[in-house]
Amino acid sequence: MKQQELIPNLFRSEYQKIVSVLCRLFGMAHIEIAEDIVSDTFLAATEIWSTKGLPDNPRAWLYTVAKNKTKNYLKRDSLFQQKLSPEIQYHTANTEEFELDLSVKNIGDSQLAMIFTVCSPEISAESQVALALNLLCGFGIQEIADAYLTNKEVVYKRLKRAKEKLKEVNISIQQPSLTEINLRIDNVLTTLYLLFSEGYYSTSQNTILRRDFCTEAMRLVYLLTAHDHTNLPKVNALLSLMCFHASRFDARSGQNGEPILYQDQDESLWNMELIDQGKYYLGLSAAGGQLSKYHLEAGIAYWHTHKEDTPEKWDQILQLYNNLLILEYSPIVALNRTYALAKVNGKLAAIAEAEKLKLTDNHFYYSLLGNLYTDVDHTAALQNYKQALDMAVSNADKLTISRHIEQLGG
């Protein structure tokens, strides 16, 4: 791999690992110092590797430089040492003997601790996702701004407020106890679910960025499955859901970035390895007696990996949607259910259910009604699609809706 490709890839995979270890060592109050040390490490790599060439083991080189920079910082800044906890002061009192632990185990433990820190209920869900992208996944402010279709200043302020709040409440970065896991695991899973959704349903046209968001969310959920106390049925259910969704990534958009609806997708582009992984984690999620929304959504996603329009498939999907609405009602879930209802009970029944929702501020509502009215009421189908087009924001959605209007002769 060329240097111009290697450094960004290493930054994505290693930045958050080293930051997590340093944050756990220094505490949340000194997070900027941890970020500065790691940023300086990658800056040194960019400068030295461009003149002297790539080292034999780039990852080991980064770890060594990060360790040395940490040791040098502790050596020259005695005031900073005094601000650290007594336990950390003890380990860093003799900087000559100090050794930053970047073992696989300590990195994994530190990242798990950071997940539960970032997903603190003290900060908003929106800030949790932004912090997760930044601290746990290594995404820069510009990349996060691109995903949210906003500017860097907005993201910077959001991250700053979230970090200040965590400092203010003096959140400690440590391995979560069983009690903390039980209290906060739902918050953690919600954040990682939203992180995946930000990639999978993103309005951003940056396909690589969208894939990276999904990959990072899956990596963090997998990290939870690797620890005994967090390897819970609902964690496996969420990972299963992500695998099933990610398996159809290549088939979901055309050459111009326009979304391709499920019924029009090329099944040969589906990733069968990810589908098999989804089945594996879905099987693991069956342990225990607790049913979560992730179990039900994973079941729906599983049936969507069967392209054939069989009565059994849509009956199963409709029942799963019914149970999901009972467990945790959502207007969007209710809207999605109407498509399955149309397959089972016909379009007229689905139209009646959809119109009861009155989601008149959502362009997907009108787009779905346009689909349901097609072959039932041509005028109504065209009117709903035109309303959806007026409300759509992304170019990709507008392109898809326009195509339906053209097919109806509008």
Which two structure tokens, joined as six digits, stand for 158?
Answer: 């959001």
pLDDT at residue 209, rounded to an integer = 57
Which of 148-162, 205-219, 291-305 is the least confident region? 205-219
Predicted confidence band of residue 224 (pLDDT cuts 50, 70, 90): very high
| Domain range list for the chain | 1-102, 103-212, 359-410
pLDDT at residue 359, rounded to an integer = 95
User: How far from 256 is each of 59, 194, 207, 314, CA to CA, in Å?
Assistant: 37, 26, 11, 31
Which of 11-15, 206-210, 342-346 is the least confident region? 206-210
258, 282 contact by CB (below 8 A): no
Nearest to 317 by CA among 287, 337, 342, 289: 337
Compute the distance between CA of residue 171 and CA of residue 160 in angstroms, rounded to an integer: 15
| Overall average pLDDT of the 100-116 stretch | 92
User: How far from 141 is each of 104, 251, 288, 346, CA to CA, in Å?
Assistant: 27, 29, 40, 47
Cβ partners under 8 Å of residue 392, min gap 6: 363, 367, 398, 401
Which two structure tokens, joined as six digits, stand for 376?
Answer: 């039932």
pLDDT digits (tens, 9 = 90+) for 227-278: 999 999 999 999 999 999 999 998 988 776 677 878 888 999 999 999 999 9
Predicted confidence band of residue 404 (pLDDT cuts 50, 70, 90): very high
Which two structure tokens, joined as six digits, stand for 177?
Answer: 């106890």
CB atoms within 10 A of CB 342: 21
Burial class (CB in 10 A: 0-12, 13-18, 19+), 364: middle
pLDDT at residue 90, rounded to an integer = 45
Compute the distance between CA of residue 10 and CA of residue 180 in angstroms, rounded to an integer: 32
pLDDT at residue 12, rounded to an integer = 81
Predicted confidence band of residue 29 (pLDDT cuts 50, 70, 90): confident
Predicted confidence band of residue 198 (pLDDT cuts 50, 70, 90): confident
Give 78 or 102, the one with higher predicted confidence: 102
Nearest to 304 by CA among 254, 339, 329, 335: 339
Whether this prediction's pTM lies above 0.75 is answered by yes
